[in-house]
């Protein structure tokens, strides 16, 4: 019962942010390590309600400090099977955010928790109280969980050891969809978990496209919809194929209208430039188009620097998120890089020009050998990126030359103008942008030696010309 706890629990606390000044301790997050993991087990293996804490408890922690933090739950029940683990795990985020004075961000190995001073003043003294409250909500909200126990870890060595195990579990889950493709199934799955902060988000999970948060693949969606038909994951019938390469389906478009409250009526699952998937806010990676090189860069949550367009992840995430369909930016889950349909409408990897080294290393198996993708070690701004791409004969370079020749005779058109937001694009022609990002403001630049000519206010990607300044 809630009376047992020195804090309140309600969805109204979901949006609660704990700022630095109100912070008692920080757990996991960018300055430390941590993860969350749910495993299914047999009924006989789980001791319902049990909490094990390894490492210092809240009352032993130094105020204002950061500690490693892992949360491992074991669940059992008649409807509980390994397929359901990811879906249950993803809910840890929701339920923990219901706790007053407790903030949970992200998922899997990216979790980031803050506990407020006010919560401690009100009597929160142990992480076991958090575990008990969370498990109570798991059982209340997900009735197929008959038994649950938790192990919380704040000891660094132990977190690191278990993290290696957890990574194997995440990898095995991600690998499952590798042999199954969009054309093999009639049903995709939708998810509304992010609609609390991204009300027009249309999350569509298919065999070839993992959820943006990276935590839900097609198998997870199917298992969740089966075990909890009233829950936030539900089937979306594919319907007619409208664009096979772009990944457009009548059933998805209908679902888009419904889920976005009429805001969006077309989604192409595998396109960056034409009716791209909406971006919620918890995406693992954000993609950004750089018209100067006619290529796409990607930056992940862990990368602390700025991308060649001069922006850090946080700024681009802010511009992209909220459940909007923004041409020029796209939030994705890391595993989508491994999809054979990865942005196939745009040429896939042929369009990718830059990503942080750590991210590139993670997905290097999926990058075709013929494509040299720059990292922060090769290029930190547009100039150095351009140089790298020419040197490495990146496929985008060919498109520059072709366009230069094609446009040679044309007079320089009006200076860069962005299409008004909401202006209807001519049918079939994708507009690039609401061009609201500073990096796309085309100017003479400081010693850049580059001039970008946009030949029309209704900018199409194919019409972007990069030519030498005279």
Residues forming the site for Zn ion (CB under 5 A): 194, 212-213, 280, 282
Pick from 107, 129, 131, 134: which is nearest to 119 by CA? Answer: 129
Q: Which is nearer to Zn ion, 212 or 269 (CB)?
A: 212
Please report how close the Cβ of residue 220 comes to Zn ion at its closest, in angstroms: 14
Please report how close the Cβ of residue 280 comes to Zn ion at its closest, in angstroms: 3
Q: Which is nearer to Zn ion, 193 or 379 (CB)?
A: 193
Q: Which is nearer to Zn ion, 24 or 283 (CB)?
A: 283
Please report how close the Cβ of residue 330 comes to Zn ion at its closest, in angstroms: 13
| Phi, psi (deg, nearest 5) at residue 221 | -60, -45
For residue 36, how many C-alpha atoms fall within 13 Å in the half-sphere facing its CB?
26
Residue 106 CA to residue 419 CA, distance in Å, equals: 34
Q: Are 450 and 466 in contact (CB under 8 A)?
A: yes
Q: Which is nearer to Zn ion, 282 or 359 (CB)?
A: 282
Pick from 100, 88, 82, 89: which is nearest to 17 by CA? Answer: 100
289: Cβ contacts below 8 Å, ≥ 6 apart: 272, 273, 295, 296, 328, 329, 432, 461
Q: Which is nearer to Zn ion, 324 or 360 (CB)?
A: 324
Encode burial over 145-181: b for 16+ CB neighbours within 10 A, e otherwise: bebbbbbbbbbeeebeebbeebeebbeebbeebeeee
Q: Count the neighbouring beta carbons within 10 Å of the beta carbon of residue 366.
A: 15
Q: Count the neighbouring beta carbons within 10 Å of the beta carbon of residue 352.
A: 27
Q: Which is nearer to Zn ion, 17 or 409 (CB)?
A: 17
Please report how close the Cβ of residue 212 comes to Zn ion at its closest, in angstroms: 5
Q: Which is nearer to Zn ion, 213 or 285 (CB)?
A: 213
Q: Are 113 and 122 in contact (CB under 8 A)?
A: no
Q: Which is nearer to Zn ion, 51 or 212 (CB)?
A: 212
Please report how close the Cβ of residue 130 comes to Zn ion at its closest, in angstroms: 23
- The 8-class DSSP code of residue 258 comes to H
Please report how close the Cβ of residue 146 comes to Zn ion at its closest, in angstroms: 29
Please report how close the Cβ of residue 108 comes to Zn ion at its closest, in angstroms: 13
| Phi, psi (deg, nearest 5) at residue 290 | -115, 100
User: Among all chains, which residue has been given the structure tokens 């320089």?
Assistant: 412
The beta strands (E) that lie in 266-381 are given as 285-290, 295-300, 329-332, 352-354
Please report how close the Cβ of residue 363 comes to Zn ion at its closest, in angstroms: 20
Please report how close the Cβ of residue 224 comes to Zn ion at its closest, in angstroms: 15
Cα dihedral 351/353/354/360 (nearest 10): 70
Please report how close the Cβ of residue 87 comes to Zn ion at its closest, in angstroms: 14
Pick from 269, 270, 174, 180: which is nearest to 220 by CA? Answer: 174
Q: Are 325 and 275 in contact (CB under 8 A)?
A: yes
What Cα–Cα distance (Å) separates residue 198 from each residue in 105, 112, 202, 342, 442?
A: 15, 20, 9, 24, 30
What Cα–Cα distance (Å) separates residue 451 from each residue in 292, 345, 398, 441?
A: 8, 28, 18, 11
Q: Which is nearer to Zn ion, 213 or 359 (CB)?
A: 213
Q: Count the neighbouring beta carbons within 10 Å of the beta carbon of residue 455.
A: 17
Please report how close the Cβ of residue 426 comes to Zn ion at its closest, in angstroms: 31
Please report how close the Cβ of residue 283 comes to Zn ion at its closest, in angstroms: 7
Q: Which is nearer to Zn ion, 196 or 380 (CB)?
A: 196
Q: Which is nearer to Zn ion, 154 or 200 (CB)?
A: 200
Q: What is the DSSP string of 69-80?
A: EEEEEEEE-TT-
Residue 430 CA to residue 345 CA, distance in Å, equals: 12
Q: Which is nearer to Zn ion, 295 or 323 (CB)?
A: 323
């Amino acid at each position: 019962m809630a009376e047992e706890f020195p804090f309140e629990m309600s969805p109204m606390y979901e949006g609660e942010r704990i700022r630095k000044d109100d912070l008692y301790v920080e757990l996991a997050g960018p300055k430390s390590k941590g993860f969350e993991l749910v495993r299914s087990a047999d009924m006989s293996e789980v001791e319902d309600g049990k909490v094990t804490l390894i490492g210092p408890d809240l009352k032993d922690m130094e105020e204002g400090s950061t500690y490693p933090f892992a949360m491992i739950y074991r669940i059992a029940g008649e409807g509980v099977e390994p397929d359901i683990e990811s879906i249950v795990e993803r809910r840890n985020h929701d339920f923990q955010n219901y706790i007053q004075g407790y903030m949970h961000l992200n998922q899997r190995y990216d979790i980031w928790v803050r506990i407020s001073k006010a919560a401690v003043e009100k009597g929160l003294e142990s992480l076991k109280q958090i575990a008990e409250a969370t498990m109570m909500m798991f059982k209340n909200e997900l009735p197929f969980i008959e038994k649950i126990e938790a192990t919380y870890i704040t000891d660094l060595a132990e977190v690191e050891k278990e993290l290696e195990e957890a990574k194997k579990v995440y990898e095995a889950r991600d690998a499952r969809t590798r042999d199954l493709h969009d054309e093999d199934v009639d049903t995709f799955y939708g998810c509304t978990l992010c609609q609390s902060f991204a009300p027009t988000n249309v999350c569509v999970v298919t065999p070839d496209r993992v959820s943006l948060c990276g935590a839900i693949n097609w198998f997870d969606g199917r298992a969740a919809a089966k075990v909890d038909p009233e829950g936030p994951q539900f089937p979306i019938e594919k319907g007619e194929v409208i664009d096979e390469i772009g990944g457009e389906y009548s059933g998805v478009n209908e679902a888009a209208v419904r889920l976005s409250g009429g805001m969006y009526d077309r989604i192409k699952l595998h396109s960056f430039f034409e009716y791209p998937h909406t971006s919620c806010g918890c995406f693992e990676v954000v993609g950004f188009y750089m018209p100067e090189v006619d290529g796409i860069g990607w930056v992940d949550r862990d990368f602390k620097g700025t991308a060649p367009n001069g922006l850090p992840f946080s700024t681009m995430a802010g511009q992209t998120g909220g459940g909007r369909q923004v041409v020029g930016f796209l939030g994705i889950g890391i595993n989508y890089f491994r999809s054979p349909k990865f942005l196939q409408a745009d040429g896939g990897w042929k369009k990718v020009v830059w990503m942080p080294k750590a991210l590139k290393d993670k997905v290097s198996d999926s990058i075709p050998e013929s494509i040299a993708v720059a990292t922060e070690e090769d290029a930190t701004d547009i100039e150095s990126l351009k140089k790298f791409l020419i040197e490495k004969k990146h496929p985008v370079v060919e498109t520059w030359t072709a366009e230069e020749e094609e446009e040679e005779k044309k007079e320089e058109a009006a200076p860069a103008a962005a299409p008004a937001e909401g202006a209807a694009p001519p049918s079939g022609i994708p507009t690039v942008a609401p061009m609201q990002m500073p990096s796309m403001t085309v100017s003479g630049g400081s010693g850049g030696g580059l001039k970008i000519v946009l030949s029309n206010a209704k900018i199409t990607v194919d019409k972007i010309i990069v030519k030498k300044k005279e």
